[in-house]
């Protein structure tokens, strides 16, 4: 039976290719932690003025500078083991030629936390390339799952599958749901144009306070330009406003325009500037749709318009990273939702000074041990950050934040230690957070729930991080995995999670053990 399954997988993985290899320009490297970490580590070891590490998903053209050093000379073990050279560089080298690649996606994780859990998914992903400049990609995976208690409780409360969206069916806490991404991409000279459904991530850290992949996928149109030491991105998003736990039919369209400008000052120092504006598609007085004002690809025009009285939700931010040595990278973010310098200096806790910041350090070969990597990261967001007076204009999509999963009014410490040897990977991951939440049946909000209007705030001044009901959160996770099929990123994996969540009236201790096989094509976060 196992031999038949393996033959089926081998047959399904067939790659139809008419000509040799060249440098494909238009593929997206999967927005998945294994790939992102591998390329970030390589960038620390061998920094480049052409590679912009803070914007993901990476284009395949962004690793062209690595091909000689990685794939032809001294291959970097982790990238080689993930078969990036196969997945992203098998392309035609003559005009009017094409490549088709079809891969299965298999996910089967069985677990126990006092009751048996089961996560099962089956699907496919397909790449289609014409010449070196056009790519079409799609994946679709159908799931039927029962989750650990701490996840099942969240799904019951929000009516949402984390990172995915609405379940198609719920029968006795067994959920059926579908995950899919797709895009078409065309590259010409130093430009790339994309349209599709997917996610993006900005930052060098594990979390992002500017734009993360926590939410479910969304339709987008993206334009990217790479020239000199600069990468410039413009993206237009179609989002949904949904209040977690409400009627699933109560969904309202909203839109966003985002700009990011990344500059490699030199090989070691990168500065990325970011801005976005979010607005609702309709309100009680009009149906607005996509505002053509925000079609302009010019960056940093919104602050002037905001000063003129715009009612839309505007946020700006900066991401910095510096490679200190070939073993150490420092990074950080600052997100400015609103601020008034006079009030910041006064230190009176004015509610509208809404900021979030991140500080992190990434060690390679920690303590002199080859392939032992350590990440330490601190994140904080002040009350009411990412929220808006009109809740439909908050910084969220389909009931899930577009930045940090805790919303606002929190402090968080992330520590991740990983070790790789050949096809084995060992990972210890801990998230500790303190969050200021509303009390049960509260009539006003303390600034953590970004789906509430900030007009319901309790006070103008004396607003400080962690106000409200202090909640303590700890997530400790140990993972062991073995890479079975590199081209599919198919891994045999085992996990143990210890979860503790408590406040003055609630105390949860949960342990979950899981074992199974998974082809990881997206990040499924359990640590919030």
Q: Which helix (H) or strand (E) holds 87?
A: helix 84-89
Provide the 3-class DSSP secondary structure of residue 210: coil
Tokens of 450: 């970004």
Q: Tell me, what's the pLDDT at 409?
A: 97
* 289, 297 contact by CB (below 8 A): no
d(CA 127, CA 125): 7
Q: Which residues, in sequence order, are bridge partners of residue 102?
A: 126
Strand duo 191-198 + 174-188: pairing = antiparallel
Among candidate residues 12, 35, 134, the one with its CA nearest the CA of residue 521: 35
d(CA 205, CA 317): 15
Chain centroid, CA 238 distance in Å: 17
Phi first, then psi: give them for residue 79, nearest 5 degrees.
-65, -40
Walk me through the domains of the chain, giving residue ranges and CATH numbers.
Answer: 2-519 (2.40.160.130)
Sign of CA dihedral 493, 366, 511, 401: negative
Q: Tell me, what's the pLDDT at 305?
A: 53
Full pLDDT tens readout for the chain, 528 residues = 445 444 444 444 433 333 334 466 888 988 999 888 988 988 999 898 999 999 999 998 887 655 544 433 333 444 544 444 454 445 445 556 778 888 899 999 999 999 999 999 999 999 888 888 999 999 999 999 999 999 999 999 999 999 999 998 888 899 999 999 999 999 998 899 999 999 999 999 999 999 999 999 999 999 999 999 999 999 999 999 999 988 888 899 999 999 999 999 999 999 999 999 999 887 666 677 777 778 877 766 555 455 545 688 899 999 999 999 999 999 999 999 887 778 788 888 899 999 999 999 999 999 999 999 999 999 999 999 999 999 999 999 999 999 999 999 999 999 999 999 988 999 999 999 999 999 877 677 999 999 999 999 989 999 999 999 999 999 999 999 999 988 788 999 999 999 999 987 778 899 999 999 999 889 999 999
Q: Tell me, what's the pLDDT at 205?
A: 97
Q: Tell me, what's the pLDDT at 13?
A: 42
């Amino acid at each position: 039976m196992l031999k038949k399954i393996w033959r089926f997988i081998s047959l399904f993985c067939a790659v139809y290719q008419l000509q040799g290899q060249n440098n494909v320009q238009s593929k997206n490297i999967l927005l998945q932690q294994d790939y992102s970490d591998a390329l970030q580590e390589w960038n620390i070891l061998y920094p480049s003025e052409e590679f912009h590490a803070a914007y993901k998903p990476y284009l395949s053209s962004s690793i062209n500078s690595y091909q000689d050093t990685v794939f032809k000379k001294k291959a970097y073990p982790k990238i080689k083991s993930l078969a990036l050279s196969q997945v992203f560089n098998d392309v035609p080298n003559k005009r009017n030629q094409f490549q088709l690649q079809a891969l299965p996606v298999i996910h089967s994780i069985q677990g126990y936390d006092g009751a048996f859990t089961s996560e099962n998914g089956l699907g496919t992903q397909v790449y289609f390339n014409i010449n070196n400049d056009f790519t079409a990609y799609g994946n679709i995976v159908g799931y039927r799952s029962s989750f650990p208690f701490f996840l099942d409780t969240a799904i019951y409360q929000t009516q949402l599958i984390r990172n995915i969206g609405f379940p198609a069916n719920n029968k006795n806490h067994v959920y059926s749901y579908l995950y899919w991404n797709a895009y078409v991409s065309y590259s010409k000279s130093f430009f790339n144009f994309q349209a599709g459904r997917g996610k993006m991530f900005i930052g060098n850290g594990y979390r992002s306070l500017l734009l993360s992949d926590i939410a479910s996928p969304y339709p987008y149109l993206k334009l990217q330009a790479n020239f000199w030491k600069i990468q410039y991105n413009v993206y237009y998003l179609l989002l949904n406003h949904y209040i977690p736990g409400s009627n699933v039919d109560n969904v309202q369209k909203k839109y966003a325009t985002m700009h990011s400008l990344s500059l490699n000052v030199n090989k070691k120092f990168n500065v990325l500037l970011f801005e976005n504006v979010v607005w609702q598609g309709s309100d009680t007085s009009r149906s607005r749709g996509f505002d053509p004002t925000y079609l302009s690809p010019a960056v940093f025009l919104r602050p002037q318009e905001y000063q003129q009285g715009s009612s839309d939700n505007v946020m700006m931010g900066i991401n910095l990273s510096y490679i200190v040595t070939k073993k150490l990278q420092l990074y950080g973010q600052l997100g400015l939702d609103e601020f008034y310098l006079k009030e910041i200096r006064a230190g009176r806790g004015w509610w509208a000074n809404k900021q979030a910041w991140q500080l992190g350090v990434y060690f390679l070969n920690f303590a002199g041990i080859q392939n032992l990597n350590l990440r330490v990261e601190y994140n904080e967001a002040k009350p009411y950050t990412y929220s808006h007076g009109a809740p439909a204009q908050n910084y969220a999509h389909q009931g899930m934040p577009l930045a940090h999963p805790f919303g606002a009014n929190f402090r968080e410490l992330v520590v991740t230690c990983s070790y790789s040897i050949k096809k084995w990977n060992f990972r210890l991951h801990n998230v500790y957070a303190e969050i200021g939440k509303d009390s049960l049946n509260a009539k006003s909000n303390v600034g953590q729930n970004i789906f509430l209007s900030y007009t319901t705030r309790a006070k103008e001044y004396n607003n400080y991080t962690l106000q409200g009901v202090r909640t303590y959160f700890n997530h400790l996770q140990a993972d062991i995995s073995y890479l079975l099929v590199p081209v599919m990123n198919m891994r045999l994996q085992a996990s143990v999670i210890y979860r503790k969540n408590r406040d003055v009236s609630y105390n949860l201790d949960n342990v979950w053990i899981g074992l199974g096989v998974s082809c990881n094509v997206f990040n499924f976060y359990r640590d919030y």
